[in-house]
């Protein structure tokens, strides 16, 4: 290290000691990189996703293809699940949500079937993330409680003020977007990452959950209001969530 380098280092250290930051700024507990720069209408299909095409002449032991329906094994959680062209076209693994199978037709009539997955978990249970980080990985807005991307719920971001029993039970309020997203979440049959707000812009990842059941019964809603800051008469349903097995 020459004189100038030493001088520079000494100035820096000195400056640092003399001028501590007046307000401690929020530093994310962990930073996660977006999978790639976002592109219009295509934030999730990252280039690190793996794809496997089913070979109609050589189906694997846990694959089947009859008519426009396929059965295949989720490469992430090993659940065997069904994808029907008529019913789904494309379907997420109902057990872990981390893979999705698709089928375009029959194996004798030129149909194609494949599965796409990403087995690298993007989030760590117990760690906190900013809404910007969550949105960069999963898509969806940075403010909604059930962010959507391409007409699917990509995660849940719940506050205990609104949902005292989260993540097991949530009580969505009134509003066009809130009610639409709550309904969509209840119809979706696979788990998504769930985050609980612990401090301003610190959302703890608590695991993947899906809506197991929901009710608009007022007695049932009242039983689970539990002092939410959403007025009881504005709660539109109660959703019971089920946690996916950790992989």
Select 13 or 245, whichever has its Cβ closest to Zn ion: 245
Task: Show the tokens assigned to 162.
Answer: 């609104």
Select 77 or 113, whichever has its Cβ closest to Zn ion: 77
Task: Show the tokens assigned to 34.
Answer: 């977006």
Cα–Cα distance measured from residue 170 to residue 162, given in angstroms and rounded to the nearest whole number: 8
Place of tokens 């809130």: 178
Smallest distance from Zn ion to CB 190, Å = 8
Dihedral class, residue 5 (left if φ above 0, else alpha if ψ from -120 to 50, else beta):
alpha
Contact present, 157 and 167 (Cβ < 8 Å):
no
Select 74 or 239, whichever has its Cβ closest to Zn ion: 74
For the chain, how big is the Rg over CA atoms in Å?
Answer: 23
Dihedral class, residue 175 (left if φ above 0, else alpha if ψ from -120 to 50, else beta):
left
Q: Which residues form the interface with Zn ion (CB under 5 A)?
A: 74, 76-77, 79, 93, 95-96
Select 74 or 103, whichever has its Cβ closest to Zn ion: 74
Select 96 or 238, whichever has its Cβ closest to Zn ion: 96
């Amino acid at each position: 290290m020459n004189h100038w380098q030493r001088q520079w280092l000494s100035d820096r250290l000195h400056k640092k000691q003399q001028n501590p930051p007046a307000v401690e700024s929020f530093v994310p507990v962990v930073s996660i990189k977006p999978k790639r720069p976002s592109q219009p209408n295509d934030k999730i299909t990252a280039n690190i996703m793996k794809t496997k095409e089913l070979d109609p002449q050589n189906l694997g032991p846990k694959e089947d293809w009859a008519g426009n329906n396929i059965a295949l094994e989720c490469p992430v959680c090993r659940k065997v699940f069904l994808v029907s062209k008529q019913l789904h076209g494309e379907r997420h693994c109902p057990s872990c949500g981390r893979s999705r199978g698709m089928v375009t037709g029959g194996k004798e009539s030129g149909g194609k079937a494949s599965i796409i997955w990403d087995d690298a978990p993007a989030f760590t249970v117990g760690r906190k993330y900013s809404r910007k980080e969550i949105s960069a990985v999963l898509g969806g807005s940075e403010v909604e409680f059930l962010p959507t991307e391409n007409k699917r719920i990509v995660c849940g971001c719940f506050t205990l003020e609104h949902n005292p029993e989260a993540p097991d039970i949530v009580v969505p309020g009134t509003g066009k977007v809130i009610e639409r997203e709550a309904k969509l979440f209840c119809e979706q049959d696979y788990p998504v990452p769930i985050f609980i707000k612990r401090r301003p812009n610190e959302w703890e990842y608590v695991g993947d959950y899906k809506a197991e059941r929901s009710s608009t019964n007022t007695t049932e809603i009242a039983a689970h209001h539990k002092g939410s800051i959403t007025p009881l008469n504005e709660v539109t349903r109660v959703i019971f969530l089920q946690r996916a097995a950790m992989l």
